[in-house]
Structure 1
Amino acid sequence: MGKKVRKESETPCKETFEPLPVEGKNPATVVLLLSSPEEDILVKACEAIHTFAEKGDENKVSLLGLGALEPLCQLISHDNKLVRRSALMALGIMTANSDVKSALKKIDVIPSIIDKLSLEEDVVVHEFATLCLASLSVDFVCKVQIFDSKGLPTLIQLLCSPDPDVKKNSLETIFNMVQDYQSRQAVHELGGIPQLLELLNSEFPVIQHLALRTLQNVTTDKDTRNTFREEQGFEKLMDILSNDFSDLHIEALQVVANCLNDSESFQLIHQGGGLTRLTEFIITPNITEIQSCAVKCIARVAQSAENRKLLHEQNVEKVLVELLSVSDVTNITSILTKMMCECVGFLCVSGGIPEIVQLLNNESLVLREAATQALSNLTHGNKLNAFAVYEAGGHEILVQQLYGNCAGTVANSAATLGNMAGQGVIRCSILLHGAMQALVEPLKSTNVQVLVNTTQCLAMLACDTELQTAGGLQPLVNLLRSYHKEVLHNACLAINVCASDEPTAVEMCRFGAVELLHEINQSVKRRSSVSKLAMTSLLNSNLSVKYSLTGHLSSTDIIRDGFYDAGKVSLWRSEDSDFRGTV
C-alpha cells in the first residue's frame, strides 16, 4: 500500500446564513447585541434599548447596570448613519436619569456628542444630541466640558433650526450654561441675543419661557443690555406685556427689572408706555406674582432721583402707598418697604409713613423687619419723618419691638428710636413708654448691629436713674470689654451721657467702669476722644474716686456730703483686686 497523503483544505464556503430574526426578551441579551459586527443588529438593539428606557427610570438604571452605556457612547460615532442615530436616541433617553448622568461624567462623551451637531447630521440626530446636552448641562463639570469643547457656538446656531425640539433642547442647554458668568458673556459675544429675541415669537410657550429666562440671566451684564437695547429688545418685551398671555408677563417683567438699571433703558421703556403698563400691573388684583415683579421694576427705577421725578409725575407713589394697606400681599409690601429703605423720602410726600407704621403689627416677621428698616432709614437725619412716625404712634410700637427675638427688627427699632430721640417731645414720650427697660435685654445681645444701635439709642435717651433702676448699667459697662470699634465707641458715648447723673456714675464705678476705661485709654488701638471723655465724666461725678486716682480736684469740683479721702489708689493691680471705686 502506498503512503497516505494529507489532502489540502478546501476553500472556505462563501455562502451566508439566511436572514435570522432575532427576538430577545431579556435586556441583558439586547445589551450583548450592542457588540455585534452587523449593522442591522446594532440598529435593532439600539431601538430596543430606546423603547425599553422610555418606560421609566427603573429601566434606565437597569440598562446602566447591564453595561449598556459604554457601547452606546461608542456607537454614536459609528460609520453607519442609522447606527449613529439609533444609538443617540437611546443615549438621549437614558441621560435623563441622574445615575446615568453621573456615569457619563466619567466617560468623557461630551466632545463626541457635540460632533454630532454638525450640519451633515440629520434633524433626529440633532434632537437627541441636544437632548443629551440639555440633561448633562445641569451639572457644573459638564457645563465646563461643553464650553471647553466649543459647544456654545453650535448651540446658538441651532436656535435657528426648523425643528422645535432641537430649538427647545439647545435653548435649555444654553439656559443652564448662562447661570455662569463666562457663558453669559460668551452668548453676547457670539451674537446670541438676536436669536434669543427671535424665539420670543415662537408658537411654543415652553420655548418662549426658556428664551425669557435666558434673557433674564444674560441681561445682568451691562454690555449685553446695550445690545439688547440696540436689537429692539424693549419693543419686543412691551409687545409681550401688552398682550393677554399673562403666563409670560412674570419672566418679561424680570428682564425689564434688569434693564432698568440703565437710565437709557428706562427712558426707552417710559417713551414706549412701559411705565404706565407697570402701574397697571401693580393695581391689577388677584395676580400677586405679577404685582410683585412690577413693584421690583419700580424699585429699580426709584434708585435714581431723576427717575423718581418721573414716577411722581405718573402718581406711581400713591398707587404704591395704597398697596401697603392691603393685608394679603405680604410679598409686595415687603419689596415696597425695602424700596423705601433704599430710596429715602420716595413715598413720604404721599403720606406713606402711617402705612409703614401699621406694618409693625403685621404677623409676618420678615415684613416687620422690613418696616423697621424702612423707618430707620426714613428717620435718619429727617425731623419731619421722625415727627410723622411719632404722630402715627410708631414710637410706642417700636419700643415693644425691642422685646422681640429677631435681631434685625431689634436693631432697626433701636436705630429708629435713636433717630427720633433728637426731638425733646418725642424723647420724653419714648421714655414714658418704657424704652429704658426695653433696651436692657438688647444690651446683652451677641449681635454686633444690635449692640451698636442699642448703645447709640441709649446715648440719645439716657437721663436720671432710669437705666440704673431697669438694671441696664451692668450690661452697659460690660460692653467696655468689646473690641468692636463701633460698639466700644457707642458704649463710651452712652456712659458719658449717663455719668451726668451722680448716683448713676457712682454705680458704674462700682461695676468697674473706671478700671475698664483706664485700660482702654492706655491702649493705642482702643482709646479715643470719647473714651477719655467718658472717663472724665465719670470722675467728675464721683469726686472721691477722682481724688483717690489723681490726687487733686479742680476748682470746678464742688464737694458735697459723702466725700472722703480713701487714699491713693493705683489702677495697675492684680486681677483679684476687689477695688470698684467708692460709694
Structure 2
Amino acid sequence: MGAALARAAQWTAAGSGTGTLEITPLNESLLNQIIKFAEDFSTSHPQEAVFVFREPLEWKTQLGCSAFGEGYEIDGAAVHSEAKDEDGQPLLLLTASNLRVRNFDQLSRLLKIAVEKKLKEAQACLEANRDPIVKILGPEYGTVEGEDKSILHLLERVKKVDDPETEMKMKIFILLHHLDMQLLHSSLKHISQDVRLNPAAVNNEVNLLKSFSGKGEDTVLESLEYTSDYTFSNGCRAPPWRQVHGEICYLIIKPHDTDPLCITCSTAGVFLNGVSNNERYHEETNFFCLTFRSAVLEYTVGNKLLKMCLTGLATTSVPSWFDYHVKLSCLEYVFRMRELTRINLRLDSWVSKLGTADSHQRLIEDRPYCDSLLKTALNHIHKGMSSPIWYKISDKSEEVSESSSETEEDEEQPVRHQEGNTDLPSEYWGIQKLAKYLKGGNPTATVIALCSMRDFNLAQETCQLAIRDIGCLEVLINLLDTEEIKCQIGSLKILKEISQNTLIRHAIADLGGLQIMVKILDSPDKDLKCLAAETIANVARFKRARRTVRHHGGIKRLVGLLDCMSVGSAGLTLYQAKDTEIARCGALALWSCSKSTKNKEAIRKAGGIPLLAEWLKSSHVNILTPVVGTLQECASEPSYRLAIRTEGMIENLVQNLSSEHEELQMHCASAIFKCAEDKETRDLVRQHGGLQPLSVLLGNSENKQLLAAVTGAIWKCAVSGENVSKFREYKVIEALVGLLTDQPEEVLVNIVGALGECCQEPINRTIIRKCGGIPPLVKLLTGTDQALLVMNVSMDGDSAASLGNLLQIIDRLDGVRLLWSLLKNPNPDVQASAAWAICPCIENAK
C-alpha cells in the first residue's frame, strides 16, 4: 500500500505540510479498492484483524459521536470502543474530531459506520498516514525506494525464531504487499487509457503549431503541412490500410535551419520517419519530437524541456542535430504556457533558477535564428513573472471513445464574433483598468477589484468578452483555488453571471474551471457551495463539460447537496432556508448534467432518485422547477420511469399541474408525457385526478412549449381506453381539433397522435367529424415532417375505415390522392401507414 500511495496516487503539490490526495478518477479508484480491502479484512482474516498496530492510525474525522452505536461507549464529546488491548487501552478512541484506530477489526467497523462518508474518511486517513505500514507493523517495514528486501528479512526471522507475533506480522505484511501490487496494477491500467492520441487531438496540436509558423523572425517553424488534404469520416488522413495499424496522419515540417522532417502521427504517439531503430533513440525522438498528451505528461515533460533548454543541457543525451528540435518543443511549451497561463508552478520562483538577463545571454548559442527564438521565450517568461497567481494545468485530455449514448445530444457550438478593437465601449476599458488590480496579488485589492467588476453590467456581451480577452478569466478561475473565501465568492459571483455566454462557458471548461468548482462543492461554506453549483449549472450545457463534471466526481457531490432535513417545511428558519437554497443550486446543476445518458445513470447510482422524490413534496416553486426538470430529463430512461412510479412521484407531478407557474406545469406535463409509456403510470395519472388539469391546460395556446408538453401527455394517456372516456367527458377531443391549425409541428404531432388514439372508438370519430376535424387533418398530408405524416396517415386510415360520410369527405378533399402520393415517400414508416390507410379506400371504392 505504501508503494501505491507513493508512486501511483496523485498528490497535490505541498507548499507546506504533506500535500493532499487530489480528487481524480485514479485516486477514487485506489481509495475504493483500499476501502473494500479494509472492510472485508475482519471477515476474511479474523485472526489478523485483531492484531494491535505498533502505533495507532490517527486522523481528523468528519464523524460525530452520534454515528457510533453498539460496541462503543459515548462520554460527552468522546467515544471509545468497548474492545481494548492487553494494557486496557481502547482500540478506537474519538476525542473532539481526532480519531485513533489500533487494529483492522475497528477499522473495518468504522468504515461500515461511515457509510456515505467512507471515501472521505479513507482519504483523510491516508493523507495523515502517508506510509500506513510503518504505523501498523513498525518502521522496519516502511516503503523504500529501489529493491525492497524486507520480506527476505522477515523470512529469516521466522525461520530463526519461533515467535507468533513475528509470524502474524509476516502474514499481515504479505496481505498488504498483495494489496500494493493490486493497486499498482490497477493504476497502470487506468493510466494506460489516457496516453493514446486521437485525430481531433492531433489536429488541435497541428493548428496550434501552424499559428507559430511562417517567415517572420519570431516564428518557430517555416511551415507545417499534412501530406494529404483528404479527411476520412473518422478524422484520419492516413489511408484505411494504414489506419488499421493505428496511424492517423502524416506531416511534413520545415524548420528554419534544417532539412524538412517527415512525421507520422499514430494513436501510440508521434514519430520521426527514417531514423535509427535504436530503442533509446526512438525513446528520445518520441520524447522530444512533438506534442505533450496529458496534463501530467505536459507538466513533467514541459518543465524538463524548459529547464534543459534554458540551462544549456539540451544536447547532452541526444544527437547534436537534435538540439534545435529540443528547443522547438520548449518554445512550443513556453508559448502555450504564456497563452493559456495554466502552468503548475509559481513563475516568480523561477527568477533565482533562471538567473539574470546576463546569464540568459550566455545560454544563446551560435545559431542566429535560435537566438531570437530563445530571446522571445525568455521575454515571455519574464512577463509572466510579474503575476503571483499559481497557474494550474487544465486536464484537456478527452476520451478517444465516449459512449454513443451521448452522441444524440447536440453539442453546443460557440458563436464566433468578429473581433476588433474599434469603437469599444467604455465598459471594456474600465474592466481593463481593473485587471491590473485583480492580478496584483493583494487579497484586499483583489476583493475590491472583484466588487468593482460586479458593478459593470455583466449580462452585456461586451463586458463578458472583455473579461475573457484581457486575461481576467484565467485569474478568476485561479482565485477559486485559493484559501481566501471572499476571493472565491467574488470570483464565483462573476463567473456565474458571465457563464451565460457560450464562448465563456467553453473557455471556463478549457481552463479547468469545472474541476475546481467540483472540489468547492465539498467546502463547509454554504454560500460558496451554492455559487459553485449554480456556475456548474450554467457551464454544463454542452457535452464535454457534462462529461468533465462526471469524471471528477461532481455528480455524487451534487446529489449530496440535496440531502438535508428541510424538505416539506412550510415556514423555514434561516438555517433551513439556506439548506433549501443549497439543494436548489444542486438540482439546477443536476438538471444541466442530466442531459447526458451516462450522467443519468450516475445520478441514479449516487442515490439521487429518493432525494428528488423527497424534494418533489416541497411547496417551494424555486426548488420544484429544477427538481421536476431533472426528473423529466431522466424519465427517458426505463429505470427512472419505474422509480418515478414506485416512489409515488406521479401524485406530486399531477398536483403541480395546477401550479400558477407555467414553467413548472410544463416540466410536470413533460415528465408525465415520458412516464405514461407504461400502463400502470397512465392509470395512476387518472386515479390521482391528472386528466382534468391536463384538459384545462389546453386552453393556454400561447405558450407553445407548455402546449407541446400537455398534448404529449394527453396523447400517451389516451392509449388507455378508460382515460379516453374521461377526455371525452372533459371535451378534450373538441379542444384538440381546435388546435389543428397554426401550431408548431411538435404540437401537431402530439395532437394527431392523441386524436389517433381517441379514434379507436366510433363515437370519437363522429365527434371529430362534427367538429370539422377532417379538413385540417387532410391538409396536413401535404407536410414534410415524417413523424407527423406517420401519425396523420394512420389517423386518416382509421377515419376512412369507419366508412360512411368520413370516406366521402376525405375523397372530396383530395385525401385519397395524397395518400397514394405518400407511397413514394422515402420513409418506410410513412409508406406503411399510407398503404394501411388506402386499404379501406380501395375496399369501399364505387
Taking structure 2 as the reference length, what is the TM-score of the superposition? Answer: 0.41
Letter in 2 for 1:152: I
Matched, 1:394 2:811: yes
Matched, 1:258 2:669: no
User: What runs of 5+ residues in structure 2 fail to find an aligned partner?
Assistant: 1-428, 565-576
Within the candidate set 141, 166, 176, 2:544 is matched to 141
Q: What is the CA distance between 1:149 and its match in structure 2?
A: 0.6
How do residues 502-521 of structure 1 correspond to structure 2 at under 5 angstroms? none
RMSD of aligned C-alpha atoms? 3.9
Question: Matched residues in 2 for 1:202 and 1:136: separation?
Answer: 27
Question: Matched residues in 1 for 2:536 and 2:703: separation?
Answer: 35
Letter in 2 for 1:373: V
Name the counterpart of 1:335. Answer: 750
How do residues 372-451 of structure 1 correspond to structure 2 at under 5 angstroms? 373-375=793-795, 377-378=797-798, 385-387=802-804, 389-392=806-809, 394=811, 397-399=814-816, 401=818, 415=835, 418-420=838-840, 422-423=842-843, 426-428=844-846
Q: What is the CA distance between 1:417 and its match in structure 2?
A: 7.4
Q: Is the 1:175–1:214 contact (alpha carbons within 8 Å) kept by the matching residues of 2?
A: yes
Residue 373 and residue 257 in structure 1: after superposition, are their counterparts in 2 closer, same or farther (change >3 A)? Answer: same
Name the counterpart of 1:580. Answer: none
Q: Is the 1:341–1:373 contact (alpha carbons within 8 Å) kept by the matching residues of 2?
A: no
Name the counterpart of 2:534. Answer: 131
Within the candidate set 98, 107, 126, 2:511 is matched to 107
How do residues 147-226 of structure 1 correspond to structure 2 at under 5 angstroms? 147-160=550-563, 162-163=577-578, 166-200=582-616, 205-226=621-642
Matched, 1:67 2:467: no
Question: Matched residues in 2 for 1:141 and 1:32: separation?
Answer: 32
Same amino acid, percent of matched pairs: 17
SS in 1 for 2:529: helix
How do residues 461-472 of structure 1 correspond to structure 2 at under 5 angstroms? none
Residue 178 and residue 390 in structure 1: after superposition, are their counterparts in 2 closer, same or farther (change >3 A)? Answer: same
Structure 1 range deviating more: 343-352 or 207-216: 343-352
Q: What is the CA distance between 1:352 and its match in structure 2?
A: 5.2
Q: Is the 1:357–1:371 contact (alpha carbons within 8 Å) kept by the matching residues of 2?
A: no
Q: What is the CA distance between 1:233 and its match in structure 2?
A: 0.6
SS in 2 for 1:179: coil
Letter in 2 for 1:98: T
Question: Matched residues in 2 for 1:89 and 1:286: separation?
Answer: 37
Residue 395 and residue 140 in structure 1: after superposition, are their counterparts in 2 closer, same or farther (change >3 A)? Answer: same
Q: What is the CA distance between 1:217 and its match in structure 2?
A: 1.0
Q: What is the CA distance between 1:247 and its match in structure 2?
A: 5.4
Within the candidate set 96, 121, 130, 2:500 is matched to 96
Question: Matched residues in 2 for 1:134 and 1:144: separation?
Answer: 13
How do residues 363-374 of structure 1 correspond to structure 2 at under 5 angstroms? 365-366=782-783, 369=789, 373-374=793-794
Matched, 1:233 2:659: no
SS in 1 for 2:657: helix
SS in 1 for 2:814: helix
Residue 388 and residue 372 in structure 1: after superposition, are their counterparts in 2 closer, same or farther (change >3 A)? Answer: farther
Residue 100 and residue 316 in structure 1: after superposition, are their counterparts in 2 closer, same or farther (change >3 A)? Answer: same
Higher strand share goes to which structure?
Answer: 2
Q: What is the CA distance between 1:118 and its match in structure 2?
A: 1.4
Taking structure 1 as the reference length, what is the TM-score of the superposition? Answer: 0.57
Letter in 1 for 2:453: I
Question: Matched residues in 1 for 2:748 and 2:805: separation?
Answer: 19
Name the counterpart of 1:358. Answer: 775
Question: Matched residues in 1 for 2:539 and 2:724: separation?
Answer: 49
Deviations 1:383-410, CA, capped at 9 Å, x for gaps: xx34553344536622454798997699
Q: Is the 1:196–1:211 contact (alpha carbons within 8 Å) kept by the matching residues of 2?
A: yes
Question: Matched residues in 1 for 2:584 and 2:619: separation?
Answer: 12
Q: What is the CA distance between 1:237 and its match in structure 2?
A: 1.7
Q: Is the 1:345–1:378 contact (alpha carbons within 8 Å) kept by the matching residues of 2?
A: yes
Question: Matched residues in 2 for 1:69 and 1:254: separation?
Answer: 37
Question: Matched residues in 2 for 1:184 and 1:379: separation?
Answer: 41
**Structure with larger Rg:** 1
Question: Matched residues in 2 for 1:71 and 1:150: separation?
Answer: 24
Letter in 2 for 1:419: C
Q: Is the 2:799–2:807 contact (alpha carbons within 8 Å) kept by the matching residues of 1?
A: no
SS in 2 for 1:77: coil
Deviations 1:441-472, CA, capped at 9 Å, x for gaps: xxxxxxxxxxxxxxxxxxxxxxxxxxxxxxxx
Letter in 2 for 1:213: G
Structure 1 range deviating more: 341-350 or 63-72: 341-350
Q: What is the CA distance between 1:184 and its match in structure 2?
A: 1.4
Higher helix share goes to which structure?
Answer: 1
Letter in 2 for 1:85: I
Residue 95 and residue 420 in structure 1: after superposition, are their counterparts in 2 closer, same or farther (change >3 A)? Answer: closer
Residue 135 and residue 271 in structure 1: after superposition, are their counterparts in 2 closer, same or farther (change >3 A)? Answer: closer
Residue 65 and residue 288 in structure 1: after superposition, are their counterparts in 2 closer, same or farther (change >3 A)? Answer: closer
Q: What is the CA distance between 1:416 and its match in structure 2?
A: 6.5
Structure 1 range deviating more: 247-256 or 87-96: 87-96
Residue 388 and residue 118 in structure 1: after superposition, are their counterparts in 2 closer, same or farther (change >3 A)? Answer: same
Q: What is the CA distance between 1:114 and its match in structure 2?
A: 1.3
Count residues with an aligned counterpart: 393
Question: Matched residues in 2 for 1:79 and 1:361: separation?
Answer: 68
Letter in 2 for 1:44: I
Question: Matched residues in 2 for 1:236 and 1:285: separation?
Answer: 22
SS in 2 for 1:214: helix
